[in-house]
Amino acid sequence: MTFEDKPTTCSTNPVRATLTLGCIALTALLLSAGCHRSSSNNRAVPLTVPSMTGTTFSDPTRIDNPYFPLTPGTVNTYVAESNGETELIIVETLHSTRLVMGVTCVVVRDRVYQDGLLIEDTHDWYAQDDLGNVWYMGEEVDDYEYDDDGNVLAVTHGGAWEAGKDVAGVGAIAQPGHLMRGLPLPGAGYHQEFYAGQAEDTGLVVALNVPVTLADGTTYYCLETRDATRLDPGADEFKYYAPGIGPVLEEKVSSNGRLEWKGSFRPGAVGVPDFSRATFSNPTEIDNSFLPLEPGITTNFLVELADGSETIVVEVLDTQRAVLGIACVEVRDRVFEDGVLIEDTLDWYAQDDDGNVWYMGEDVDNFHYDEDGNLVSTDHAGAWESGLDVAGVGELAEPGHLMRSTLLPGASYHQEFYGGEAEDMAAIVSLTARVELDDGSVFENCLQTLEWNPADPGALDHKFYARGIGVVFEQPLGHAERVELKGIFRTGRMAVPDFSAATFTNPSQIDNTFFSFPVGTVYNYTSETEDGAETITIEVMTQTRTVMGIACRAVRDQVHLEGVLIEDTEDWYAQDDDGNVWYMGEEVDNFEYDENGNLVGMNNDGAWESGLDVAGVGSIAEPGYVMKVALRRGDSYHQEFYEGAAEDAAYIVALGVDVELADGTTYANCVQTLDWNPLDPHGLEYKYYAPGVGLVLEEVLGVGETVELASVL
């Protein structure tokens, strides 16, 4: 049970030794929570058990006490944290009832999850009398115990009780009590139930209108109570009830745990937006400010896992899909884990005339590999399409709102509804959230949502949407991993700089502030890779190479692995009259060796030249910017475009960045870029360019490898 103590069962399940609401250390740090603690009435007093004699229940299942409303179909979600442990608590007011002592009671299901495992499942029974008092009438309890592999070892029922009965056989009859008074007055105390030696919880009203600020910044003026039990004198708790919601915060008096309300949902048909009322004049023009979908835009995200990383590549395609007769934008979403594709989906979206973005369905390919990285199977779990029953579950999938045009804090809605298969929901938390990413990027006035899936109830996520961008950050509650936006790329021909507009008076003089190549200069770099130590030597040569009629500076780039030459390239650069440095092509020699270090082969993979099709792929290579002169955060551009062969792109992450290398060398006011190749979509690299020097540092995201400037000769 979430809202009252169960002192005799606190240690029955070793899996949940620290947290469950009511029985464990549930929330502390009141000052950090923004609460004002009353100094009076903070000790338990002898209390009597409320008597049902003379109490009338004209409509007992209508529970509308402002501090403890129970509306059938409503789900409240909570997160409890203590001593490094986290529990998710899902409290659902059911449509079913239970007859207890002749009174029809509302049934509330309370599930507690730890690390995704259901550890407690209770059904609690409540009734409201004609004076507005909410009576606690009993509960059924299932506690689950697991082995190290997550297999259920035992199910116990400690803490179960029912008013009017002796379910534990202790020789006493359980009596109901007040869970919430109809008229809560400071100083008033009451039993919440009384089952001698089994459950003897009490409540004491401490104060009204107590300000409580939760971690998401929302503030509520609450009823404050102090709950206690004679059976466990050290288990006192302060609880805070917000009008119209119910419990929003719990704290243990003697520990540092914390439990907070995160949001409420109305799952099922009541939460499904009415698609029949929507009109679609131009459904593929998706310009909702919090979820713009422009064809040709690719957004990259990184997830740092405990034992690796995931790269998520979300690409808005220029293709469409008709769903329920509506033309939808197609968005390809690929997930790579440690460089291996594990999921590839095509999602379909449409925007109605009011600006709501509808989620219409998705094709899904999931890939499964053995320990050696060999593909062993694929499946399509999670696929659905509005108007169809693609999984054969016996009902038709319905679309929902992925993003609403009218955003009201507290509102919840289904993003899609396909019973048992896809039932994702979102609740609006805030319209003024501030997000700061690891790279220092700051987004103000973000939309914050709480996302939950009734079909997978043990997981909660916060998502943050920035205007003009979309999702910038995701945080699974109770987990350390974060999903962060890393870059936004405009790709394809529309992102290729216009070479025809450039003029070149002295193209071989490369003196861009962040990418200068004085003739004769040698740059030495070092890197520790999983294959060993690499050294990279870049020499600015005296000779030039004419490409597309432009005299380009030739730069030799050699890579040695453990002293053995593995790559030898000659790159060609030209600087236009505005100061932009163009990448014009490269010759490449790659060397392959056997285990004994003997040369066994060579190839020229990666070679290209502007104006030519040197690899015979059927397209002509075009030059791009290796460094722009006008740098603006958020800009992206192709560094070259040789369709299907070389399509590197850069995104300007930040300006004015300070960099410190491993040897203590520092560089100020650097340009930070994110480099990405659509042909190798899982790889992301940060590069840092120092004024007057050029490239000083590379970082491979999710891998931990770096390339650092060692010397300039």
Task: Say yes or no to pLDDT of 25 above 50.
Answer: no
Say which range, 35-44, 49-58, 385-394, 692-701, has the weakest mean pLDDT. 35-44
> Do 276 and 308 belong to one domain?
yes
Range of the domain at 26: 7-265
Which single residue is written with the structure tokens 């992102």?
Answer: 495
Specify if 471 maps to a domain. yes
Do 674 and 561 reside in the same domain of the chain?
yes
Mean pLDDT across the chain: 92
Q: Is 105 left (phi over 0), alpha (psi -120 to 50) or beta?
A: beta
Q: Is 566 within a domain?
A: yes
Q: According to the model, what pLDDT value does residue 253 have?
A: 86
Sign of CA dihedral 642, 648, 654, 657: negative
Q: Please choose, from the candidates 710, 665, 658, the residue with its C-alpha nearest in 3D space to the C-alpha of residue 688.
A: 658
Other CB atoms within 10 A of residue 452 CB: 28
pLDDT mean over 386-401? 97
Please indicate, yes or no, whether the overall pTM of this predicted structure exceeds 0.85: yes
Report which of 348, 363, 364, 471 is spatially closest to residue 400, judged by C-alpha positions: 348
* Nearest of 414, 378, 65 to residue 269 by alpha carbon: 414
d(CA 687, CA 673): 5
Residues 243 and 318 in one domain: no
Tens digits of residue pLDDT in 483-515: 999 999 998 888 999 999 999 999 999 999 999
**Residues 355 and 259 occupy one common structural domain:** no
pLDDT tens-digit readout, 233-284: 888 999 999 999 999 999 988 777 789 999 999 999 999 999 999 999 999 9
Instruction: Specify the pLDDT at position 599.
Output: 96
pLDDT in tens, 300-316: 999 988 888 999 999 99
* Mean pLDDT of all residues in 86-113: 97
User: pLDDT grade, residue 46 (50/70/90)?
Assistant: low
In a domain, 1, yes or no: no
Domain membership flag for residue 220? yes
The domain boundary, picked from 235, 265, 295, lies at 265
> In this structure, is residue 365 part of a structural domain?
yes
Domain holding 318: CATH number? 2.40.360
Cβ distance 434 to 443 under 8 Å? Answer: yes
10 Å CB burial of residue 115 (0-12, 13-18, 19+) is middle
Mean pLDDT over residues 157-185, rounded? 96
Give, in order, the Cα–Cα distances in Å from 635 to each of 175, 318, 466: 68, 21, 17
Residues 226 and 81 in one domain: yes
Given a cut of 60, whether residue 15 has pLDDT beyond it is no
Residue 2 lies in a domain: no
One domain for residues 100 and 43: yes
Whether residue 364 is found in the same domain as residue 409: yes
Indicate if 171 and 300 belong to the same structural domain.
Answer: no
> Do 115 and 208 share a domain, yes or no?
yes
Confidence of residue 83 (pLDDT cuts 50, 70, 90): confident
Is the domain of 556 the same as that of 609?
yes
Q: What is the pLDDT of residue 12?
A: 29
In a domain, 500, yes or no: yes
Provide the pLDDT for residue 330: 98
Where does a domain end: 265, 280, 299? 265
> Which pLDDT band, with edges at 50, 70 and 90, does 479 fall under?
confident
69's CB contacts (< 8 A; 6+ apart) are: 63, 244, 245, 246
- pLDDT tens digits along 605-620: 999 999 999 999 999 9
- For the segment 292-296, the average pLDDT, to the nearest whole number, is 97
Query: How many domains does the chain contain in total?
Result: 3
Claim to verify: residue 302 and residue 237 sit in the same structural domain: no
Boundary of a domain, candidates 265, 287, 311: 265
Whole-angstrom distance, CA of residue 228 vs CA of residue 203: 7
Band (480; pLDDT cuts 50, 70, 90): confident
Residue 10: band (very low, low, confident or very high) from pLDDT cuts 50, 70, 90: very low
Tell me, yes or no, whether 474 and 524 share the same domain.
no
The average pLDDT across 13-17 equals 29
Residue 232 has pLDDT above 80, yes or no: yes
